[in-house]
Amino acid sequence: MTKHTKENDRLRKIVESFPKVTVTVLADLVADEYVFGEISRVSREAPVLILRHRDRKIVPGGGANAIYNLADLGVTVLPVGIVGDDEPGRLLLRAFRHKRIPVSGVLKDKSYPTVTKTRILAGFAHTAGQQVVRVDREPGECPNSHLRRELVLAAREYGRASDAVLVSDYGYGAATPALLNLIREKRGIDKVPIMLDSRHRMLEFIGITAATPNESEVETALGIRIGDDWERLLAAGEQVAGEMNLESLLITRGKDGMVVFPRRHKPVDIPIYGTDEVADVTGAGDTVVATFTAALASGATAEEAAHLANYAGGIVVMKRRTATVSQQELLDAVEKAPRIAHEL
């Protein structure tokens, strides 16, 4: 048996073990709304297109997309978050129930509107449509003290029954560093690995096991510009991993693939899986962190988890709009794809 065959067998066994894994997700839940219209003509009122409404669809986005990805990978996922008492919130809950995802940890509150990102897509009949504008509806304030307390209690309860906790922080107040500190105050999840995907404040989190920022988020966190400078990228990764005391760090780099920094091992450069002629990158980071989390919770090494996350990311960017990767799709990728990586 060749080394490549052994490695693929190992990756396949990891993916096949996903249904044995339970992950709690503390998340900012987002509704991704898509409004499709056929181009009718140019308006007389302003130099803009008039679209004839064709369709409308709301799917899980943000942290809700990470939850959806975990479910499609076969993982038992326990979401903790907030939605509003509104149509987007109800549709998110309906989507979770459709996937048989428990919703008892998802709070529903009239004072907290569901975060909704509306993308208007214009096109002609039988075309996919091109995004022309996005409108974001966000809460004016952070969750109140009652909601924060309920989030902490739910996350503690679920976390004790989980193999890992994923924190998906989009900056809307349901997955903050302060909340995570409160969740970890009482014993119960102190030995549970905690994975992090944070848009704006990665370095503020304490007690994190692994994180999956993209390159621009690392640049913002450290106040630097990496560009094509490999030495600067490696130094930045080592700095983030050291400051956060991480077991592993995965930096995603778009068309340039990923670099994983395992503790006590050299960084590994992983080229992009598939083609760089992508269809849509929306939500790809959620797919990556979901797969990385599922793999680590299944006993994978950081490098093995990174390879699987790379496969999943390569698959999902070939799908239009916010999407997921199934366990079978990931297994197919493991079987077909050559495993290429370089120690740095």
Which domains are assigned to the chain?
3-31+60-114+139-343 (3.40.1190.20)
pLDDT of residue 321: 76
**Annotated active-site positions, please?**
286
The closest of 27, 25, 21 to 305, measured between CA atoms, is 21
Task: Please compute Rg for the chain using Cα positions.
Answer: 20
pLDDT tens, residue by residue, 71-90: 999 999 999 999 999 999 99
* 214 DSSP β-pair partners: 252
Kind and range of the H or E run holding 215: helix 215-222
Average pLDDT value over all residues in the chain: 92
Alpha carbon distance 290, 154 (integer Å): 20
pLDDT tens, residue by residue, 222-247: 999 998 899 999 999 999 999 999 99
pLDDT tens, residue by residue, 15-61: 999 999 999 999 999 999 999 999 999 999 999 889 999 999 999 99
pLDDT of residue 245: 97
pLDDT > 90? residue 340: no
Which residue type occupies 65? Answer: N
pLDDT band with cut points at 50, 70 and 90 for residue 172: very high
Sheet containing 29-42: give its strands across.
49-62, 29-42, 115-123, 130-137
Neighbours of 130 (CB within 10 A): 10
* 168 DSSP β-pair partners: 27, 197
pLDDT of residue 140: 87
SS3 content of the chain, % helix, strand, coil (to 5): 40, 25, 35
Kind and range of the H or E run holding 284: helix 284-297
pLDDT tens, residue by residue, 180-217: 999 988 776 888 999 999 999 999 999 999 999 999 99
* Cα dihedral sign, 99-105-111-116: negative
